[in-house]
Structure 1
Amino acid sequence: MSMYKSGLEMFRCALRSTTLWKRDSSIWTQTSLCYKSRSFAASSQLWRKRIQGHTLKQVRYYSQSGHDVLNAQIKQTPASTETSELLDKAERTPFYSHLQNCFCPTDVLDTLKQFPVSQQLISSIFTRIWESTKKMTDEQRRCELRLMFDHPGFEEVCERAATDAWRMRSEDLAYTLLAIVNLGVSQDTRVVQTLLRVIQERLNQFDIRSLSVLAASIREMENCRNVQALREAFRLLLKDRIPEIQSVVVLQSMMRAVGKNSPVHLKKQLATKTLSLADEFSPPNTQYMFSSLAAMGLNFKPLLDVCSKNIAENVHEFPFGRLLSVLKSCHELRYRNYTLFSSVSEYMTSTFDMWSNKQVILILVSFEDLLFRPAVLLDAFAERIIQKPDSLTLKDLLSVLKVFSLLNHDLKEKKTEFVSSVVKVLESYLPKMSPTDLLKAVYYLALLEHIPQTLIDKLLQQETLDQIQKGKQSNKVQRWLHTLDLCLRLDQPPLRSSFRSIPDLHFTVPAHDVPVNQEMLSAIRGIVGNAAVQDSVLEQSIYFIDCVITLPHPKEETCSLRAEDSGSPECARRIAVVCAPPTSFCFGTTHPRASLVIKLRHLGKLGYKPVLVPVHELNSKTEEEKIQMLQKLVFPAQESSGTQEILNNSPKEE
């Protein structure tokens, strides 16, 4: 006999030595189910009866306190013959017939008065109780569950489950735990803790199906000693069982169960196994794969690419809720796929009339989170808003302004009409708006170069500013106020002269800690020389410029080229070179987002000629190509007719 044990066996031995739970009077008084401890004498007397034809066996029984182990004598059923199986099935048929006719938990519990409860029936009882509540409304479910907890039969069946758990089959244990957890029974109760401990002891006996049900059970359970121990043992066992799994649904259930805290190699092992079954994916499998990977916190691109392709090719087969879930999972996983996003956008646009405002807004907000600009869908929704602006709630309006402003969507000739329609409805909600919502609305409108007089009047009232100042001073709020102040001072909207800036609220704008792109800086100095370049310039305490190139003005008749005059705005031109990361552009394009657009706009107002350099394009080029690219951007007069889209979107020198 080997004296060494496997890691799982040692882990199980350690689990046996831990206390099941400690009794806490404060917990038990608040728990909806409170089971009274049976005395040792009553328990032993109950189970000392001998039944003819059965043998007796000593088993461990955990008491409610968790410290005392009772030796109860229980019967061990002999191996069933074919005849006995038929007889048992015939005897159980009336019970199952009655069970299927029960449509609420109390009906199931009332049925137990007619039939004796055995360990073979416990799983079916709890499962039927849970299934009977699935189709109920929330209010009806709450009432039925309250009646269930007060029913004396529920305490009896829970007591029987805790007592007979050691004799139940693995599959019945898993289904019983799943039903009890979904019914909302507290984890601190004896029945739940006993089931958890028994499952720990018997985990090696669970087949793939039982493990899948167990995975669904422990996925939503809160951490406690027994749950955490079971999760660790589950992960250890799953590592060796993954090659046996041939069901996509089971694999997805396992993904959700292992969670984000599991080892990366286990997550990748599950994802790789699932990828090998990609040919068997059904539409629900494809959609749930995104949420399953999100539950693990694993961005497994090969698997996500396959699922994205399947959804893009069959997007019409997916209901709205599933498409929205896919987009939210993409955001959580930081995964972007242009083909997937485009197909969803085109599908929503082609079937636009069948979607409500709320559905369209939910999709657009998800797209904005993913930095994707669905231009055609935005145009269609803007047209609907222009026609029926009163159909939007305040929350809808704030979401609409956020999407259109942050994605920097240009409505062209429709812009004025769109903004006017939105502002008109916003003003009707003005008495109900909180100071923070008002600040959001004015900030988003300022990004669209429109600041309404009515809204800014309300925002700049001392009472409103005091409430904002007393609230949570997050970095986001500080940036909103600082940017809005710059819009008032630099954009100079047509407002009364008293509203040209925001009063000093003693906000401190967070310092910028952005490194300069050294490759770009070196190339620029090679083009214009070191003396003409100044790096790391911060304008208005918020706009970081990688480098400023100061060049003599080309019109010599306007000013002389003397060194002492070369720094003045009249005799020199300043070029602000701004390196922008991919997140500053809408995904898949070089269309700048609002934060970048307003920065370029204000730099132009401050006398700079802004030049935008996409970092991802610059890094993909050779040294010689980088110099050529920067020469064309800094000196566009020497550029060929094929001007890049970035320059077209950049503000021009006035």
Structure 2
Amino acid sequence: MNNKAHSLLLNIRQLSTSLPRSRVLRIYPLGFGRPEVVHSQWNPRNSLLTGFDEGLRLSVRYLFQGISKSVDGCTQTKGISHAAVFKCDRVLCPRRFSSDSEHSLVSDGTSDRVLMKVNFHPTSSEDVLTRKARPTPVNHKKLAQECNSLSDVLDTFSKAPTFPGSSYFLAMWTIAKRVSEDKRRFEIQLMFSHPAFSQLCEQMMREAKIMHYDHLLFSLNAIVKLGIPQNTLMVQTLLRTIQERINECDERCLSILSTVLATLEPCMNVKALQEGFRILVDQQVWKIEHIFTLQRVMKCIGKDTPFALKKKLEMKAVKELDRFSVLNSQHMFEVLAAMDHRSVVLLNECSKAVIDNIHGCPFKVLISILQSCRDLRYQNEDLFKSIADYVTTTFEIWKLKQVIFLLMLFENLGFRPPELMDKLMEKVVEDPGSLNMKNIVSILHVCSSLNHIHRGQNREFLEAMTSALTVRLHHISSENLLSVVYSFCLMNYFPLALINQLTKKTIISELLTSGDTEKNIHKLHVLNTCLKLDENAHYKAVHIPLPQLPRPPSHPNDTVAEVLSHLWEGEGHFSRNVQLPHNYHIDFEIRMDNNRTQVFPFSGVDAPSAPHMQRVAVLCVPKSVYCLNSSHPRGLLAMKIRHLNAMGFYVILIHNWELRKLRMEDAVAFVKAKIYSDETHPTTDTTV
């Protein structure tokens, strides 16, 4: 008997020492091997410290419990229950035991496959009870359904801490998202003061190195969203661990990491993680299969990313254009704006998709597209017109503030949608009382900046706006009052009640000493000029003492000067950079007869008498002074033309962008036609 026991122990020793451990037991996250050792009071730290050797030793001891009840006095340890579910991926031993067949596990004739099918069942009632109490990984979705508050989640954790700790943070963030903002702040305060919170944070740090990478990213996102300070040890530990394990990042993790980086504040670890993220994207960009993942990565990559990486991402997106859905096309504008990368190819193709599917497009998406076009300096008249027409045809379903916000973006882009603006003006005439102060200021700013005049109800519109402002006259702030009066001046309309209020000494003093004083001084100068030069301004007795504005910078316009010199064989027939009263400046002045058929020199000897002479102001203007792709002048240019006419000038506009394309002979003919023609300045849209 002693020889047989000795032989059996020898085989056990060979089993535990000669085999690679990774082949004997399957290692599960957090160092748990099966069979697991379940204590009466489970502690994650104990499980973390439970080594592979102990698990193997206890498992083998239980394995032979049913065969030999006592081997050299070795009996089952009290106080520990062994859940005997001994699973393995391969045969336990490459060879068969050579001991006596009576006491061997499997005889020499038994195959390896039969060995894997051997099952041992516990006979102890204590084993059955403790096996049922064995902790299982907690599911954050189920936990969020069972708990009503963040404190409930922490209470559950304190009763029986279970792997993984990230599930508790995910459950708390799920609960926090579904409550109001005020209640969320209160719940987060209770979370910080809960006694189990520190214990959960410690467990989270311990598990960081063994947790699945995507769970690690999800938990960091939840932790930051819950308001846990980023400079805490736990958050910095997670950041550092994510850096160290970034090579585990697959396409799904790239998408999650993109979202996480967008929520983090700048710090050394975040900066290092962003650099690692860019290197990883540079390596994996051609392997990305999902378009939304590609767009998330592009959005997260940042404006300060090297141009080469931006170009590579652009090429990948262009390659995948055939797979773009409507949502992908709509989202691409925001993505490129976040990258600060103006890809005309992508923008043009996505614009076509947006135009073809404009009906039903949500308001937020329309706003995002227009804001991105503004940031990228991308002007697509077809796209803007499609959006404006869609809002015009569905005008009744939109809120007034939505239409106003849309028009503010159009104004910023220099695009004038006349039909939509007419609809808005008609709505204002019908119900001026529905407007608040912010709406009034915005509407007047858009109409005056784009120089829009309603052909049928312009007077009624201006009176309705004045009426709405007069009711609030003593409650309007000084800056808002100045803004609305300035807009009225651009539209050549002068409400006396508002001007009387604005020109009070206390209001003027406040405007000159607070807020954006430089901008306020410019607007007050415009008011002064309009009151003196415009025929409709009957309130001419007012003079507002203001500091002198700096002279505007003069532009050489050498090309136009050279053209005029070729036209009249010298510079004696025109004057350059002429400064006029009221801070006006013109590029060139020409003296002609009243019929504008003859040009007089500036020598003064041959100059005709004043009644027979016409002063001509030549202005060299850029595209920005017109509405997009039209010859409709914007508000400031229209006012300047009006005031130059009042000072006795005939105004000729030379388009810089057209002149640059021409050779000298063609440029001379172009300017000559402008000077000697009888064209009038347009007040309505005409295509250039």
Q: Give the TM-score normalised by structure 1.
A: 0.81
Counterpart among 621, 624, 633 of residue 665 in structure 2: 624
2:532 and 2:540 in contact (8 A); partners too:
no
- Corresponding position: 1:117 with 2:159: no
Paired with 2:140 and 2:316, the residues of 1 have a C-alpha distance of 41
Once the two structures are TM-superposed, the CA of residue 565 in structure 1 deviates from its matched residue by 7.1
Partner-residue secondary structure (3-state), 2:533: helix
Residue by residue over 1:33-61, the C-alpha shift from the partner in whole angstroms, topping out at 9 and shown as x without a partner, is xxxxxxxxxx9999766562279xxxxxx
- 1:520 aligned partner: 560
1:196 and 1:226 in contact (8 A); partners too:
yes
Q: Which moves more between the two structures, 226-235 or 133-142?
A: 133-142
1:569 and 1:607 in contact (8 A); partners too:
no
Once the two structures are TM-superposed, the CA of residue 446 in structure 1 deviates from its matched residue by 0.2
Paired with 1:567 and 1:222, the residues of 2 have a C-alpha distance of 73
Residue by residue over 1:520-548, the C-alpha shift from the partner in whole angstroms, topping out at 9 and shown as x without a partner, is 22222322442111112232363332211
Letter of the 2:346 partner, please give it: L
Q: Which moves more between the two structures, 578-587 or 272-281?
A: 272-281
- 1:240 aligned partner: 283
Find runs of 4+ consecutive structure 1 residues off by over 6 angstroms: 43-47, 87-90
Q: 1:406 to 1:81 in 2, by over 3 A?
A: farther
Letter of the 2:157 partner, please give it: L
Once the two structures are TM-superposed, the CA of residue 494 in structure 1 deviates from its matched residue by 4.1
Partner-residue secondary structure (3-state), 1:588: coil
- 1:647 aligned partner: 681
Ranges in structure 2 where 5+ consecutive residues have no aligned partner: 1-43, 58-85, 91-115, 117-130
Counterpart among 483, 495, 500 of residue 538 in structure 2: 495
Partner-residue secondary structure (3-state), 2:289: coil
Residue by residue over 1:72-96, the C-alpha shift from the partner in whole angstroms, topping out at 9 and shown as x without a partner, is xxxxxx998599xxx9999447776
- 2:446 aligned partner: 403
Once the two structures are TM-superposed, the CA of residue 598 in structure 1 deviates from its matched residue by 0.9
Residue by residue over 1:242-300, the C-alpha shift from the partner in whole angstroms, topping out at 9 and shown as x without a partner, is 11112111112112222112112212221221222122222322222111111111111
Once the two structures are TM-superposed, the CA of residue 107 in structure 1 deviates from its matched residue by 3.6
Q: 1:124 to 1:54 in 2, by over 3 A?
A: farther
Q: How does 1:471-486 map to 2 (within 5 A)?
A: 471-486=514-529
Q: Which moves more between the two structures, 620-629 or 371-380?
A: 620-629
Paired with 1:296 and 1:555, the residues of 2 have a C-alpha distance of 54
- Corresponding position: 1:511 with 2:551: yes
Paired with 2:208 and 2:87, the residues of 1 have a C-alpha distance of 19
- Corresponding position: 1:594 with 2:635: yes
Residue by residue over 1:549-570, the C-alpha shift from the partner in whole angstroms, topping out at 9 and shown as x without a partner, is 12244599xx9x9944727642
Greater C-alpha radius of gyration: 2
- 1:426 aligned partner: 469
Partner-residue secondary structure (3-state), 2:445: helix
1:95 and 1:115 in contact (8 A); partners too:
no
1:105 and 1:144 in contact (8 A); partners too:
yes
Counterpart among 281, 290, 293 of residue 250 in structure 1: 293
Ranges in structure 1 where 5+ consecutive residues have no aligned partner: 1-42, 56-77, 638-642
Paired with 2:301 and 2:88, the residues of 1 have a C-alpha distance of 37
Q: How does 1:96-175 map to 2 (within 5 A)?
A: 97-102=142-147, 104-113=149-158, 115-118=160-163, 121-175=164-218
Q: Give the TM-score normalised by structure 2.
A: 0.77
Paired with 1:122 and 1:80, the residues of 2 have a C-alpha distance of 27
Residue by residue over 1:7-32, the C-alpha shift from the partner in whole angstroms, topping out at 9 and shown as x without a partner, is xxxxxxxxxxxxxxxxxxxxxxxxxx
Residue by residue over 1:436-495, the C-alpha shift from the partner in whole angstroms, topping out at 9 and shown as x without a partner, is 111111100000101111111111111111101111454322221221111111114343
Number of equivalent positions: 570
Letter of the 1:648 partner, please give it: P
1:475 and 1:510 in contact (8 A); partners too:
no
1:103 and 1:132 in contact (8 A); partners too:
yes
Counterpart among 638, 653, 667 of residue 612 in structure 1: 653
- 1:274 aligned partner: 317
Q: 1:79 to 1:382 in 2, by over 3 A?
A: farther
2:493 and 2:537 in contact (8 A); partners too:
no
Partner-residue secondary structure (3-state), 1:466: helix
Partner-residue secondary structure (3-state), 1:246: coil
Q: 1:126 to 1:567 in 2, by over 3 A?
A: farther
Q: 1:369 to 1:612 in 2, by over 3 A?
A: same
Query: Superposition RMSD on alpha carbons, in Å?
Result: 3.1
Partner-residue secondary structure (3-state), 1:317: coil
Q: 1:541 to 1:221 in 2, by over 3 A?
A: farther
2:303 and 2:338 in contact (8 A); partners too:
yes
2:154 and 2:196 in contact (8 A); partners too:
yes
Q: How does 1:186-585 map to 2 (within 5 A)?
A: 186-499=229-542, 501-503=543-545, 505-506=546-547, 508-529=548-569, 530-540=571-581, 542-554=583-595, 563-564=604-605, 566=607, 569-585=610-626
Q: 1:389 to 1:79 in 2, by over 3 A?
A: farther
Q: 1:555 to 1:469 in 2, by over 3 A?
A: closer
Residue by residue over 1:372-395, the C-alpha shift from the partner in whole angstroms, topping out at 9 and shown as x without a partner, is 101100001100000101100011
- 2:55 aligned partner: 53
Once the two structures are TM-superposed, the CA of residue 619 in structure 1 deviates from its matched residue by 2.5
Letter of the 2:468 partner, please give it: V
Paired with 2:426 and 2:139, the residues of 1 have a C-alpha distance of 63
- 1:62 aligned partner: none
- 2:219 aligned partner: 176
Letter of the 1:230 partner, please give it: L
- 2:126 aligned partner: none
Letter of the 1:419 partner, please give it: L
Paired with 1:168 and 1:614, the residues of 2 have a C-alpha distance of 65
Partner-residue secondary structure (3-state), 2:456: helix
Q: Which moves more between the two structures, 158-167 or 390-399?
A: 158-167
